[in-house]
Structure 1
């Protein structure tokens, strides 16, 4: 096997597949990157058994030659070492040659590295996924869905299914839900082309976070294929596989209140900044709690106090107020995360009492729903 390639383009591919490689894997060959060379180009594969990322670099892109294939073949090279070597090579042309006993030579300028490779036939095969359970989303919309939901997954392993985002397809729409049992983030998307059957899968939050980094600025739509154990996100040059989480995801629809006793419409950015300031004094050991109080029909008060440090009070103008006066306490972090997901728009907050969950929505778009459980402070 022998090929020469532009170093910067190889680094782009390595940056993607390295996101799937873990040094903690119990399968030794998965600490490596699989390199497959054919007459069409080079395919790089990285995996930690939960996530597998494969990227393809063609011989030619936009009329420009990226690589020359002198002899096709396959090899697995130690991922961290190969990545570091390529990153630090002195010129933009890299020649990789594999000789007998998997000895791999990497040349660039006056640099000459020799690595011992592993047999590519020992590398796990990619999952086989059929095309009958497929949806397609624009890359920027997929990134937005991830940003608006993934922050609310649980970070503790006590209920593994809650560390993922539930994707449910039914009634002409995709509904994505994340909850850690203290808050909930939900995003609905109307789909034009639906699979023939309803689907319900839970995708690990970690997988979606890594996927979002790879989707940077791709103008191409993303094809999404689902099975009972795997999901595949496919763009023209990247395949991103993730295992799915097993277990029954809780029925979150019962959490969302159907009526409200207090409705406040307010500028999301102003509220976010006010809570950010109040949280400076919120006591860490009380989960960073701030208090939200309606004063009159024109303003609300955000306050926090810490016996050791001091207290803060700030009034914020509201656009409209309906219903009963209210004092409620909640986690500043949870509220700030929710407002960031709605992206500083005007929001309507619906309360059903001081100790009941409350919801936050954009007044312009009811596709996004955020729900937070209050904190008892007395």
Structure 2
């Protein structure tokens, strides 16, 4: 078997796939990729058993169809030492792959593809087409609220709900909750929901951000046990979690009678300034709200104190003083993903959660639970 491939196309494809392969895995076979050569087309498949990525790339030359495994680490390293805009010539003889370019020659071992694990796609329940930026937005606005290694697996995930021409993404770690809604043109009338693990969400987000701007629309196929995302010549497959997600709607719709409107950057910078004396980078801060001001307080274990006072833009419905305690990291995470200059903070009393909204984006909801002072 002999073939010729463009080095730049090959290395870009290998980098996409290598991001999901963990070289510390005990199962040696998935440290390899499956190469399928057929009709002047090279299909590369990599998996970590939870995620599978396959990419089709055109070949400049090919004299025979074949299928085998090869180490992705070695093949990627060889491509990295190759100059850009180079053609790589590959011959397969017995169990070795002979790689040639310019005056360099490499022989690397190949393996049989018989035992390589490949996903079996289940029955398709829904097919939708959305823009790449729409999916990026759904993940970006909620992923920070996912749990990390929580024993309750559904907290280490993002929940997607699709119905009535809209998609809602929701994430919570039990102490905070974030949701985001976008409108689409081809959504189903019947509600369909899926739960994707933290690992899967991060890899999808990474892949979407690394893609060229040429890739705009993506096709999503939701099946019984997995989800398939197709972007031009790239196919991303992953398992769907079978856990039940908490009822988030009641939390978002909880009535909060009071609100203030405040400058986002002023709040962010004030929190960062009071944190300069903290023992712990993301410790508890006190927020005190009165008719005219938002006061931020912090004290550390040495009884040192810091205080910031911020003017409130709108507090017309505030009738008394309120005081809360919050994890400063949770507030900063929300402020980081909001885009307007002003934000709206809803609350009801000293013991309830707060809801932070972007004043110009009604599709975003961010709930933070208080810490007992």
Aligned to 2:138: 145
User: Does the 8 Å contact 1:136/1:221 carry over to 2?
Assistant: yes
What is the CA-CA distance between 1:206 and the residue it aligns to? Answer: 1.7
Alignment of 1:294 onto 2:283 = no
Corresponding residue to 1:97 among 91, 96, 113? 91
Question: Which structure 2 segments of 5+ residues have no match?
Answer: none
Alignment of 1:372 onto 2:368 = yes
User: Does the 8 Å contact 1:34/1:45 carry over to 2?
Assistant: yes
> CA offsets, 1:66-100, max 9 Å, x none?
x3324332221112222122212356222222111
What is the CA-CA distance between 1:340 and the residue it aligns to? Answer: 1.3
Which range moved further: 116-125 or 353-362?
116-125
Alignment of 1:194 onto 2:190 = no
> CA offsets, 1:41-61, max 9 Å, x none?
2221111010111122234xx
Aligned to 1:319: 313
> CA offsets, 1:105-129, max 9 Å, x none?
1222222111111112332233324
For the residues of structure 1 that align with 2:137 and 2:63, how far apart are their CA atoms?
42
SS of equivalent to 2:158: strand
Alignment of 1:10 onto 2:4 = no
Alpha carbons of 1:40 and 1:208: their partners in 2 closer, same or farther (altered >3 Å)? farther
What RMSD over aligned residues (CA atoms) do the two structures have, in Å?
2.0
Q: How does 1:45-64 map to 2 (within 5 A)?
A: 45-59=45-59
Count of aligned pairs: 367
Alignment of 1:265 onto 2:261 = yes
Alignment of 1:163 onto 2:152 = no
What is the CA-CA distance between 1:12 and the residue it aligns to? Answer: 0.7
User: Does the 8 Å contact 1:281/1:309 carry over to 2?
Assistant: no
For the residues of structure 2 that align with 1:194 and 1:114, how far apart are their CA atoms?
51
SS of equivalent to 1:319: coil
Corresponding residue to 2:74 among 78, 81, 84? 81
Aligned to 2:31: 31
Corresponding residue to 1:133 among 113, 126, 129? 126
SS of equivalent to 1:121: coil
TM-score of the pair, normalised by structure 2: 0.92
Aligned to 2:338: 342
SS of equivalent to 1:206: helix
For the residues of structure 2 that align with 1:42 and 1:257, how far apart are their CA atoms?
51
For the residues of structure 1 that align with 2:102 and 2:296, how far apart are their CA atoms?
62
For the residues of structure 2 that align with 1:43 and 1:316, how far apart are their CA atoms?
58
Alpha carbons of 1:105 and 1:259: their partners in 2 closer, same or farther (altered >3 Å)? same
User: Does the 8 Å contact 1:348/1:362 carry over to 2?
Assistant: yes
SS of equivalent to 1:366: strand
User: Does the 8 Å contact 2:125/2:224 carry over to 1?
Assistant: no
For the residues of structure 2 that align with 1:12 and 1:122, how far apart are their CA atoms?
26
User: Does the 8 Å contact 1:283/1:289 carry over to 2?
Assistant: no
User: Does the 8 Å contact 1:90/1:108 carry over to 2?
Assistant: no
SS of equivalent to 1:126: coil
Aligned to 2:325: 329
Question: Which structure 1 segments of 5+ residues have no match?
Answer: 60-66
